[in-house]
Structure 1
């Protein structure tokens, strides 16, 4: 491939990030920017937003943001790793740790900072920090969780040829049957993130929650060496089986709902098509076709190579975007690196081919329960997809649009507004 073509691809890839850059422009952004890099801004904002659920302090993350170099993955990891270890030292201070409850949220913050440090580490699969950071975050989260009034229970739920990693959170100790929400993430975030984003608020409203991870998601990708699978009912159905059998005395089966976050908007919808036991589904946001979303971000030159089946040339051109001297945006570089890791392939062409299976085409008529579908003003990953889901579902769908300061992908940094809307809809729909 000519050098000029690769250069044009890099420039067009940067242009493909304009929808994110709009939200990270100092004049057009609805909020104060945490980084001049739109992807770093979004990642820091997500971690900061967990403060309302006890998962972060505010000033330390803002201080860390000052030290992160724009577009520098290594600096991002180093700065957040340093913050995580400084916070861990505080949690271990014997004067402060006289009671586990006194340092509970400190441990939760430690876990959050290690997760943030891990965000841009997938460029080299052999890098030991991919495991080290995750082991640290799991250990810290478990310490925080153990000090809760009602600790969560870590579970390994068997499926056909893998194990679903899950955590069960009872709303109360009285074993009364209560509404129950099953919560799953998508492309990159962890179930531990969802404790601070969703579980804290759900429990306060009397909901039990089961969070889970399947193949391709953070813990299962590491512990079982498995990439994503499209038939997500293989993950959710065993989780529902567990809830209805092992927690039968705590679950109101008429108020059993499934929530999918980010790419989880596809995963949850796919599972719901094969799970009539669910009474409601929430997609934040809706994703009709993962493949179409990712393909839409390809510049014309790369798209032409892909659709012509020129796998070697496509791989060469795409991997050139990961070069340190590439002009490709941080978001594009991260998306490729993480996608290769999460789908467990070294070939960008193979990665994109795998995503062709991730579509709701032909199965939306099997989704019988009410579905809440969210879209956002600054949606940067699945632009246009929520409306496609709404159109396919027809009167089964309730559409909600988040704008302004709540308009980032999955309402990052505006989780109070997000949960108000979600649980308002659940109350209206299920009672």
Structure 2
């Protein structure tokens, strides 16, 4: 009886929960009755009827800012794709990636290293995009084929940066995590301020180059970017699934970076992107070696995406979602996915990266990704909480995180008037990183510099 009741609630909330924001804005019925907001407040000129495909296209547009794409390449690729067709998405992005990678190889063979580097960076990002929607079938050979090429192209580009980007392996629980160390640009002190950073639910460490790593390295910061469990490197290579106790991931990463002679241990920041907006705060709550925190964008409790379907009761939700058998719930979630593009993708990808194998199992894990119950209040370092006005995934979450922080804190809201209202400010990478970089400069400034600029 209980499961049938909640199955009806799920159907009433169809489209209101995946990773989407609508689930937290009232009852399931109210959420279902509310019209879906326009993605990022930017009028789509591609995939007008598919907000998921549009957002992923906007994501590539955003990566133009730091060399991850070119406008015409993105447009002509997107125009060839059939809306909602995952195979078409893969095939067309793979075609573009192969063409750009071949051009990179030709430039390299001819000794044109700058042209080769730029093309390898773009090809890497296009390969990343190609396999993005295929994770509903983890055995699909196209996934690793495109992922491997993404990494190969990125490392080819890194080899052409005169040592500015160095691939690293970070010891972690009997294995290692993949990452890249970026040497700070310019001349300065032997020990430099350093930003450790990671992506979230679906992005790769290679993608972090276009999100934040290149931007902060050019501002004089060392950067150590890495993939943790559940993120592409460890997931593709070893099947290491996502985990909520992120301090156990960040701890070994800090051990690695603080062993370097060019890192100032008093100026180490942690930046978490997308779902990293809850993972990084969780780590900072238990890791005193983190001296500044950036949540891009901030998340307080992923459970609120699921709880409205269960009357707001976390333990009831946990009991129902983790039951050995719940055919009514499974059927309702399947129907939701069939009618909602966000749910379709999030359920398939989430089932894979959490290791649960089902939409219901994935939703059960969201209950554990939070900084509630006093965790946020444990954070002591200065914290920047970023917020995108029309975030299609986490709207309202940055405000919740900010309200619970008791440390020195800053709230950075970017909206549609700036072209920055999309999730993680996709499409406004230069602006977002200017604001974030300026905050970090001020946070890590010396007392003398603070006095001089006051």
Give the TM-score normalised by structure 1: 0.89
CA contact (8 A) 2:292 2:381 kept: yes
**Aligned equivalent of 2:263, options 205, 227, 251:** 251
RMSD, aligned α-carbons: 2.9
2:382 maps to 1:370: yes
Report the 3-state secondary structure (helix = DSSP H, G, I; strand = E; otherwise coil) of the residue aligned with 1:93: helix
The equivalent of 2:97 in structure 1 is 84
Tell me the CA shift for residue 67 of structure 1. 1.6
Q: Is the 8 A contact 1:169 1:208 kept in 2?
A: yes
* Alignment match, 2:25: none
1:196-245: per-residue Cα shift (whole Å, max 9, x none)?
22122112111110001111001111111111111111111111111111
Matches of 2:332 and 2:93, distance apart in 1: 31
1:34–1:45: 8 Å Cα contact kept in structure 2? no
* In 2: Cα distance, 1:210 partner to 1:95 partner: 27
Paired with 2:110 and 2:432, the residues of 1 have a C-alpha distance of 33
1:351-366 equivalence runs, <5 A: 351-361=362-372, 362-366=374-378
CA contact (8 A) 1:293 1:385 kept: no
Superposed displacement of residue 255, structure 1: 1.7
2:143 is aligned, of 130, 138, 154, to 130
8 Å contact from structure 2 (residues 41, 422) kept in 1: no
Conserved? CA contact 1:35–1:41, under 8 Å: yes
Shift of residue 267, structure 1, vs aligned partner: 0.7
Residue 65 of structure 1: aligned partner: 78
* 1:160 and 1:234 in contact (8 A); partners too: no
Does residue 224 of structure 2 align to residue 223 of structure 1? no
Q: Secondary structure at the match of 1:77?
A: helix
Query: Does 1:276 find its partner at 2:296?
Result: no
1:392 equivalenced with 2:404 (yes/no): yes
Of residues 163-172 and 7-16 in structure 1, the stretch that sits farther from structure 2 once superposed is 7-16
Q: CA deviation at 1:35?
A: 2.0
Q: CA deviation at 1:85?
A: 1.2
Q: 1:287 aligns with which of 296, 299, 306?
A: 299
- C-alpha contact (below 8 Å) 1:165/1:212 kept by paired residues: yes
Deviation string, structure 1 residues 340-397 (Cα, Å, up to 9, x no partner): 0110111322222222222212322321111110111111112221111111113532
Counterpart selection for 1:152 from 154, 165, 170: 165
Q: Deviations over 1:327-352 (max 9, x none)?
A: x2211100101100110111322222
In the alignment, does 2:262 pair up with 1:261?
Answer: no
Match for residue 75 of structure 1?
88
For residue 67 of structure 2, the aligned residue among 35, 49, 54 is: 54
Distance 1:304 1:318 in 2: 19
Q: Deviations over 1:147-189 (max 9, x none)?
A: 0133422222112244222111111486721111011111000
- Verify: 1:184 aligned to 2:185, yes or no: no
8 Å contact from structure 1 (residues 166, 212) kept in 2: yes
**TM-score (normalised: structure 2):** 0.85
Q: Do the aligned partners of residues 430 and 122 (structure 1) sit closer, same or farther apart at CA in structure 2, a change above 3 Å counting?
A: same
Q: Secondary structure at the match of 1:192?
A: coil
For 2:15 and 2:278, locate their aligned partners in 1 and report how far apart those are by CA, in whole Å.
26
* 9-18 vs 45-54, greater mean Cα deviation: 9-18
What per-residue deviation string (whole Å, max 9, x for no partner) do you get for residues 236-275 of structure 1? 1111111111x12x11222210001111011101111111
What is the Cα deviation at residue 288 of structure 1? 1.3
Q: Which structure 2 residue ranges, 5 or more long, are not aligned?
A: 23-34, 446-454
Are residue 335 (structure 1) and residue 336 (structure 2) matched? Answer: no
The CA deviation string for residues 290-329 of structure 1, in whole angstroms up to 9 with x for no partner, is 2223445x598xx99956726522223223444xxx2x22
Q: Does 1:349 align with 2:360?
A: yes
Moved more, 349-358 or 253-262: 349-358
User: How many residues are paired up?
Assistant: 421
Q: Is the 8 A contact 1:231 1:270 kept in 2?
A: yes
What residue is the counterpart of 2:423 in the other structure? 409
SS of the counterpart of 1:351? helix
Are the counterparts in 2 of residues 104 and 147 from structure 1 also a CA contact under 8 Å? Answer: yes
Segments of structure 1 that go 5 or more residues without pairing to the other structure are none
Query: Contact conserved, 1:181 with 1:256, CA < 8 A, in 2?
Result: yes
Structure 2 residue 444 is matched with structure 1 residue 430: yes
3-state DSSP of counterpart to 2:41: coil
Give the Cα separation in 2 of the matches to 1:299 and 1:335.
Answer: 19
Checking the alignment, whether the CA contact within 8 Å between 1:13 and 1:329 is kept in structure 2 is: yes
Hey, what does 2:15 align to over in structure 1?
14
Pair 284,85 (structure 1): closer, same or farther in 2 beyond 3 Å:
same
Structure 1 equivalent of residue 122 of structure 2: 109
Query: C-alpha offsets along residues 120-144 of structure 1, whole Å, 9 cap, x if unaligned?
Result: 0111111111111101101111111
2:184 counterpart residue number: 171
